């Protein structure tokens, strides 16, 4: 047998032919493996966004041209969709309440302060109340990636500006500023205490929509606050302006921090209006943080947001009831801990103590065995009681059957499910008929009784088939 050695020179014809083939095989195996490894690494390092860019533009279309301070309030409030729904109902029942006075009126409500402040803008709450699904999606998008949301708002503002539909008017002031190396388009009320809420058709104000498969959302204005809109009012630069909301001095305490892609809180304004939820030991501007306790049980959309906020929410301790918690196991653990305490053992002792102290470990093991033995004894006792109850029931049924036979009771289901008893009944019926034949007089009655017994046997057979 001849072996090829790669240490030899490929002088022979066979070696010269084999070496390229072997090299090709090695390369063919290595390349797919390398691509698979690269793909796995890329997949592990890339996390799919909660919403696509198309979806973000779609949901941000009706609010991207709001004044910065109002936009910030809407973004914060949308993370509490249950509160928004309640606030919309309250505002609908109190249509004349607006401005700081409305915010003061809802201070006793258990809504998040961002939602309470939206009471100043009943027309905005009315539109949000009509679109609860859109509101929740907006809040989920903002919680998942606020910087991305803010970036898309700026993209859309630039689109409207390029289309000639975003400019300074008597209702608003439009400017640009650079922060943290980024240039942002700023929208402010022309008069700080007089705020207009714009209404516009996204497919008009932004120009030709760039995602035909994802048409933009549209929040139709409520007739009560925009009567001219429904009577043929004219759009100005693609925007319709309703009546201004007046009396705003502290109700708008949020702001857009474009340079850092998040939302800020003006602490002084916040504390002036949210007297029951003041921010202590804080001054100037501070970052807004979502309060999971005010989520009111509304689930979070993505795993990252759940991990970040869900554990902090009110009622999170009860969530184990919905995750298959073994209550029997918990009860056993509690009993074991109680037994350990009675024996002078601290159940919360560290692992090192249990590992290094043989006496403590023995006492813990003995307490656990005693608890398990006690549970086993109780289980055996319960089974014994069950058997005793079953035997009593059988004896009781037998007694009723005998009583029925002795008193001539007619039960169509007598003997059902018990073939042995049915056969005994048939035999007794036959004996009765033979005895009746010898006595003459009661033969008809006894024969009739025997026939009924036979009927019982047929019922028993039917019971077996079922």
Tokens of 197: 């809420």
Q: Is the pLDDT of residue 166 over 80?
A: yes
Q: Is the pLDDT of residue 323 over 90?
A: no
pLDDT of residue 31: 44
Q: Is the pLDDT of residue 57 over 70?
A: yes
Reported confidence tier of residue 310, pLDDT bands at 50, 70, 90: confident
As a whole number, mean pLDDT of residues 311-340 equals: 48
87 in Cβ contact with 106 (< 8 Å)? yes
Rounded Cα distance, 155 and 183, in Å: 11
Q: Is the pLDDT of residue 331 over 90?
A: no
Task: Kindly report the length of the chain.
Answer: 466
Tens digits of per-residue pLDDT, 399-423?
Answer: 554 544 444 444 433 344 444 444 4
Rounded Cα distance, 304 and 292, in Å: 14
Pick 255 or 441 by higher pLDDT.
255
Most confidently predicted of 42-51, 137-146, 230-239, 364-373: 137-146
Q: Is the pLDDT of residue 459 over 80?
A: no
pLDDT of residue 320: 37
As a whole number, mean pLDDT of residues 237-254 equals: 93
Q: What is the torsion angle, in degrees rounded to the nearest 10, for the CA atoms of residue 385, residue 389, residue 392 and residue 398?
A: -140
Tokens of 368: 């656990």
As a whole number, mean pLDDT of residues 377-398 equals: 62
Strand arrangement of the beta sheet that strand 285-287 belongs to: 254-257, 262-266, 285-287
Rounded Cα distance, 60 and 159, in Å: 13
Of 35-44, 104-113, 369-378, the range with the lowest mean pLDDT is: 35-44
Break the chain into its structural domains and give their ranges. Answer: 53-311, 341-397, 411-465
**174 bridge partner residues:** 187
Q: Tell me the pairing of strands 239-241 and 198-200.
A: antiparallel
Phi, psi of 174 (to 5 degrees): -110, 130
Q: Is the pLDDT of residue 463 over 60?
A: no
As a whole number, mean pLDDT of residues 112-125 equals: 97
Rounded Cα distance, 72 and 285, in Å: 14
Percent of the chain surpassing pLDDT 90: 51
pLDDT of residue 270: 96
pLDDT of residue 49: 75
Tens digits of per-residue pLDDT, 88-104?
Answer: 999 999 999 999 999 99
Rounded Cα distance, 265 and 80, in Å: 17
Rounded Cα distance, 106 and 91, in Å: 10
As a whole number, mean pLDDT of residues 208-217 equals: 96
As a whole number, mean pLDDT of residues 348-353 equals: 50
As a whole number, mean pLDDT of residues 386-411 equals: 54
pLDDT of residue 235: 86
Reported confidence tier of residue 338, pLDDT bands at 50, 70, 90: low
How many contiguous H segments (helices) and E segments (strands) does the chain have?
Answer: 17, 9
CB-based burial of residue 210 (10 Å sphere; 0-12 exposed, 13-18 middle, 19+ buried)?
middle
pLDDT of residue 345: 54
Q: What DSSP element (H or E) covers 330?
A: helix 327-342
pLDDT of residue 180: 87
The pTM assigned to this predicted structure is 0.60
Rounded Cα distance, 346 and 415, in Å: 61
pLDDT of residue 62: 97
Reported confidence tier of residue 237, pLDDT bands at 50, 70, 90: confident
Spacing of C-alpha 431 from chain mean position: 73
As a whole number, mean pLDDT of residues 114-121 equals: 97
pLDDT of residue 103: 97
pLDDT of residue 90: 98
pLDDT of residue 282: 83
């Amino acid at each position: 047998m001849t072996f090829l050695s790669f240490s030899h020179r490929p002088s022979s014809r066979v070696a010269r032919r084999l070496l390229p083939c072997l090299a090709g095989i090695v390369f063919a195996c290595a390349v797919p493996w390398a691509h698979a490894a690269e793909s796995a690494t890329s997949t592990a390092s890339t996390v799919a966004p909660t919403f696509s860019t198309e979806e973000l533009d779609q949901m941000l279309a009706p609010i991207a041209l709001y004044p910065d301070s109002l936009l910030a309030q809407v973004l914060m409030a949308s993370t509490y969709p249950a509160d928004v729904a309640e606030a919309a109902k309250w505002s609908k029942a109190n249509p004349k309440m607006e401005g700081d006075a409305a915010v003061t009126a809802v201070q006793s409500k258990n809504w998040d302060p961002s939602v309470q402040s939206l009471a100043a803008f009943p027309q905005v709450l009315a539109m949000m109340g009509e679109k609860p699904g859109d509101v929740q999606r907006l809040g989920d998008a903002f919680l998942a990636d606020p910087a991305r949301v803010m970036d898309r708002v700026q993209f859309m503002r630039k689109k409207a500006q390029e289309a000639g539909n975003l400019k300074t008017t008597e209702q608003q002031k439009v400017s640009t500023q650079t922060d943290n190396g980024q240039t942002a388009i700023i929208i402010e009320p022309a008069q700080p205490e007089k705020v207009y809420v714009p209404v516009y058709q996204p497919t008009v104000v932004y120009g030709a929509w760039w995602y035909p498969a994802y048409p933009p959302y549209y929040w139709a204005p409520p007739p009560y606050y925009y009567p001219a809109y429904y009577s043929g009012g004219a759009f100005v630069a693609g925007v319709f302006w309703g009546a201004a909301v007046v009396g705003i001095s502290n109700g708008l305490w949020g702001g857009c921090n474009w340079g850092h892609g998040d939302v800020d809180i003006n602490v002084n304004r916040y504390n002036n209006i949210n007297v029951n939820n003041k921010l202590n030991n804080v001054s100037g501007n501070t970052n807004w943080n979502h309060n999971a306790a005010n989520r009111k049980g509304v689930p979070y959309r993505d795993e990252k947001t759940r991990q970040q906020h869900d554990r902090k929410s009110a009622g999170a301790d009860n969530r184990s009831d919905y995750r298959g918690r073994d209550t029997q196991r918990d009860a056993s653990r509690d009993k074991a801990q109680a037994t350990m305490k009675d024996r002078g053992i601290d159940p919360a002792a560290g692992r090192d103590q249990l590992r290094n102290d043989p006496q403590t470990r023995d006492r813990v093991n003995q307490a656990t065995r005693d608890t398990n033995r006690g549970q086993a004894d109780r289980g055996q006792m319960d089974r014994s009681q069950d058997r005793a109850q079953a035997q009593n029931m059988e004896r009781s049924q037998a007694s009723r059957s005998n009583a029925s036979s002795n008193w001539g009771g007619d039960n169509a289901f007598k003997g059902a499910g018990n073939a042995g008893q049915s056969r005994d009944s048939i035999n007794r019926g036959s004996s009765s008929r033979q005895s009746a034949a010898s006595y003459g007089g009661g033969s008809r009655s006894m024969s009739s009784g025997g026939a009924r017994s036979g009927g019982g046997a047929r019922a028993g057979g039917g019971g077996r088939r079922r």
